Amino acid sequence: MTDFPIVEGHHPLTEMWSIQLSGPFFHRTEHEDVCLWRPGLTIWLAVWGNDKAQTAAERLARIRSFTSADAYDRVEESEEQLLRFAYRLRERKQDKRVDAFYAYVIGASGHVQLAMYFEDEEQFELAQSLWRGVAEKHGEPLPGNTKDTKDTEENS
């Protein structure tokens, strides 16, 4: 089907971040972002550093400020040293996708931004599980393992 590698289980995104995948996904990197996909579900992941030395709460407030007014089904969760924020967004599209699921996992070293697209509402539960499967390794981030924060990073 494709020449892209297949990944599954505990999959590192950077030296500081990983995701737990339930089943096999194709993998590719594009401009430092990770794309994981399988039939019916595509996930784009961007890992952002904490170059402004903000707390997780400050980063979450900044992310919320960039969130579309059209976002719905907003969810915020707190887990140990991580904050999670997610929402659905109705977008104009030419294909059969249902409303997108956008999510963030915020920790000490920065945050992971996820954009998930799927063709069937039955995939929504899996998308939430994948979001909750993003984890941060505790400790100091290593230099150069994530993008610097940009003022436009959360503009989706």
Compute how many other C-beta atoms are within 10 angstroms of the C-beta atom of residue 110.
27
Q: In this structure, is residue 123 part of a structural domain?
A: yes
Q: So what's the pLDDT on residue 24? A: 95
Q: So what's the pLDDT on residue 150? A: 41
Q: In this structure, is residue 95 part of a structural domain?
A: yes
Q: In this structure, is residue 84 part of a structural domain?
A: yes
pLDDT classification of 156: cutoffs 50, 70, 90:
very low
Q: In this structure, is residue 30 part of a structural domain?
A: yes
Domain count, the chain: 1
**DSSP H stretches of helix in 76-137:** 124-132
> 45 and 112 in contact (C-beta within 8 Å)?
yes
Q: Which domain holds residue 43?
A: 6-136
Place of tokens 């000490």: 108
What is the 3-class SS of 44-70, one letter each residue?
EEEEEECCCCCCHHHHHHHHHHHCCCC
Which CATH number covers residue 115? 3.40.1000.10
Q: What is the pLDDT of residues 46-105, one digit of tens each?
A: 999 888 888 899 999 999 999 998 999 999 999 888 999 999 988 776 566 688 999 999
Higher pLDDT, 147 or 113: 113
> 111 and 48 in contact (C-beta within 8 Å)?
yes
Q: So what's the pLDDT on residue 119? A: 86
Structure tokens at 140: 């100091």
Q: In this structure, is residue 33 part of a structural domain?
A: yes
118/54 Cα distance (integer angstroms) = 33
CA nearest to 113, candidates 9, 22, 14, 4: 14
Q: In this structure, is residue 61 part of a structural domain?
A: yes
Residue 20 has pLDDT above 60, yes or no: yes
Q: In this structure, is residue 155 part of a structural domain?
A: no
Angle at the Cα of 77 from the Cα atoms of 59 and 153, rounded to 5 degrees: 30
- Which three-class secondary structure state does DSSP give residue 27? strand
CA nearest to 38, candidates 86, 5, 69, 79: 5
Residue 37 has pLDDT above 50, yes or no: yes
Q: In this structure, is residue 144 part of a structural domain?
A: no
- Amino acid at position 12, single letter: P
28/58 Cα distance (integer angstroms) = 31
